[in-house]
Structure 1
């Protein structure tokens, strides 16, 4: 259905296979990465903060992007091409727009908190962020859906494997809807994010000797320093991942997309357009000391639990039924004694408090 033949993209069968494998790998890693970000936020209250909460909402959007791109790539003729493609385009377009908006919102939140010293205002703006990042993309996609412009694109020029804007529209209408439903907001996100982070970096560099005066405690100052180190990576990663699809789009608009550059741009776009989920997981989970240590501890506990269960299973298989029944009887008595002891200790403690 949405699969692309090598002829349509001027790629050899080997290049097409490599592009498809890399795209699906990037999608899978992003699904794992976004799930990790969301799960760690839910199960570990101590790492919750407003900034990480915003990251969770961005991860929800990135999860939908990766899932939609993967679904479009592995889609086949068993589906109703028109309906499936239109639904996939609807979900993916909405998710991409949400991802752009949340990326800019996180940059603005850090700008307001650090440069303007108004963390309280930044926290109070969270409901406004939700209205901007969910309602505006929903309105744009609803307008595109009603206008019946979502569907199979010219995959030779704009996407690889997933549906977006129908290619049977006239050139001006197709270009307008591509800008409205994606590329215009994407370029805007590049500019705003880059400008905000440059301002934040310059501010922190200028005030590096007075940081402790603005942040009263050493932990707060250390947090700002860690943010400063990661600040450089955030816009760079976002732009480096998404820029390839943007380059491909503008080259196609200028009729400069040729067979020499096409395969490389397709592979890079396939990886990058679906890659923000795993990139954010690396930056904000694996490179975050608190989260990394908790993940290591959780993995260690899971492995230890599995090893203990395996050892107990081997021991049970080696015991004869009579021995097993005898052990069960002993364990039952021990449990009863432990329960009684706990009750007695609790009562004694209650009396002592009284």
Structure 2
């Protein structure tokens, strides 16, 4: 329940630094001995006082049960409304106590998932990451449009991210407008609200390409076999990604090199806002299997698990996944999530390794 949660307003860069440090340590911890927190009904008070015009901050959704230092409800500054008490954490805020990170874009009130709301936390992650890494964000009906002119061929970086119900006609009109204004070579949207499948079906009837993505989740309990995989600099994975994209996009002709370069080059953007760990298996020094683990507080996400076709059947995917889960557990994560195409075999592979489908999102796209 939202009433059981505490919140901390923070700049995205400060949150990324906290992920590396293991805890949020704002200047107030040294100056007055505590970290300023808020309850959901009062977070607007410090936001208006300290950041009245900013819409690029994020809210850390904190589970009080995961805090080891005491929290006291005390008066705020004299200018705060009389009689209102604010939670003060007398110690650093562990990143493992943060169950979700959501963009704060007033006057909208973002959903705040409870610690045990697995689907809510998964949706919060997949709705939040595109916004935090975007070069630009614009409000649209049902959510936002994320933009990055540096990677125009990446639909993940240039699309609508919709978390509230919107009808198919509005999505199409909004995507048309954004594509025209931003010069997108496509129209694309992620539909992240419950029951979005009906609208996705209507868009399919209008000629859109539609894909259902299962949101799958499990705990971070380790699996055996991770010792065969290693953590590497992301640049070591680029050749494997390039081979994979070239195999997946054989019909692009003269555009192929530029598109592949953008799809590979965009990946460093994730590490600016979440803690990214690239996990690989090598054969004779060559990376032949890889996956990416993205840690965002107590929630981690597995992404981009793939193996070179000639190296398949040797358990390398298992090794990558096992090492990723071990890293997540070591970072204090209690939840690991991923997206898997509803109509493809990897969903069954993940299910055999403990991941359960907890909901769906929909990816829709069409040439501009």
- TM-score, L = length of structure 2: 0.22
- Structure 1 or 2, whichever has the larger Rg, is 1
Q: Which has the higher contact order (CA 8 A, sep 6+)?
A: 1
Larger proportion of strand: 2
Larger proportion of helix: 1
- TM-score, L = length of structure 1: 0.22
